[in-house]
Amino acid sequence: MREQTGPKLHVFVCANRREASSPLGMACGERGDAVFAALKSWVAERGVYAGVWVTETRCLGICPPTGCTIALYPEGQIVSQLTIEDAVQIVEDRWAKTKP
């Protein structure tokens, strides 16, 4: 049997930026940067580097008017309009579900 490689939870955080004049809005930008940093800190504080990966990405296809957008794998779920607190809570909840 092959050993599973990769994380139990992989979180992609949008930090895309657009010009203020874009018809799609300014995107997640600094809000995404802040969520990304908070989730990386969460992983580091718990030492769960192998189990939870956090990746900064560009557009995930949903540009919220507030907060940022994340994609969660392996669930394949996209969640939008997240604050730092929302994102950390989601990751904590998902991580808790991976434990036996």
98 assigned to some structural domain: yes
Mean pLDDT, residues 44-60: 96
Q: Determine the 3-state secondary structure of 68 from DSSP.
A: strand
54 assigned to some structural domain: no
pLDDT at position 57 is 97
Task: Name the residue with higher pLDDT: 54 or 22.
Answer: 54
Lowest mean pLDDT among 14-18, 28-32, 62-66: 62-66
48 assigned to some structural domain: no
88 assigned to some structural domain: yes
Q: How many whole angstroms separate alpha carbon 71 and alpha carbon 56?
A: 11
At 3, the pLDDT band (50, 70, 90 cuts) reads: low
57 assigned to some structural domain: no
pTM of the model: 0.90
At 1, the pLDDT band (50, 70, 90 cuts) reads: low
Q: How many whole angstroms separate alpha carbon 95 and alpha carbon 64?
A: 25
β-strands 68-73, 77-82: how paired?
A: antiparallel
Domain count, the chain: 1
Mean pLDDT, residues 88-96: 96
33 assigned to some structural domain: no
- Per-chain mean pLDDT for the chain: 92
40 assigned to some structural domain: no
The range of the structural domain enclosing residue 18 comes to 7-28+62-76+83-100
